[in-house]
Amino acid sequence: MFEEIIESFEHDIWDFMVLSPVEPINNSTFMQVGAPEEIVNYHYTLEIGFYSDESGLTMYRLYTLNKDFILQCFVDYWQDQVIPDVSSWEDITEEMN
């Protein structure tokens, strides 16, 4: 299912897929992937958001060419309720404020 959706993304058209669990997963309230862009050196934009009463919204972004990685992140999130390791992802929290 996820693979078909991501395969249908077209370059430079803002297609995206968002997963939002009923209950947060380790404070994560959503994960999303955006369509590839032809004019840059990456294909997909993967983002994940977290919310806590103490810190509010925190959001991370990863640009990647690796579609298999994206699919694995979505399967892990959906089926196993496991979030990816975002320690090397860009913290874009300031962009949201």
**DSSP codes, 38-74:** TTSS--EEEEEEEEETTTEEEEEEEEES-HHHHHHHH
Residue 4 to residue 20: CA distance in whole angstroms:
19
Token code pair at residue 37: 């862009």
CB within 8 Å of 71: residues ≥ 6 apart:
2, 3, 6
Percent of the chain with pLDDT over 70: 84
pLDDT tens digits, one per residue of 41-65: 667 889 999 998 888 899 999 988 8
Partners of residue 60 on adjacent β-strands: 48, 91
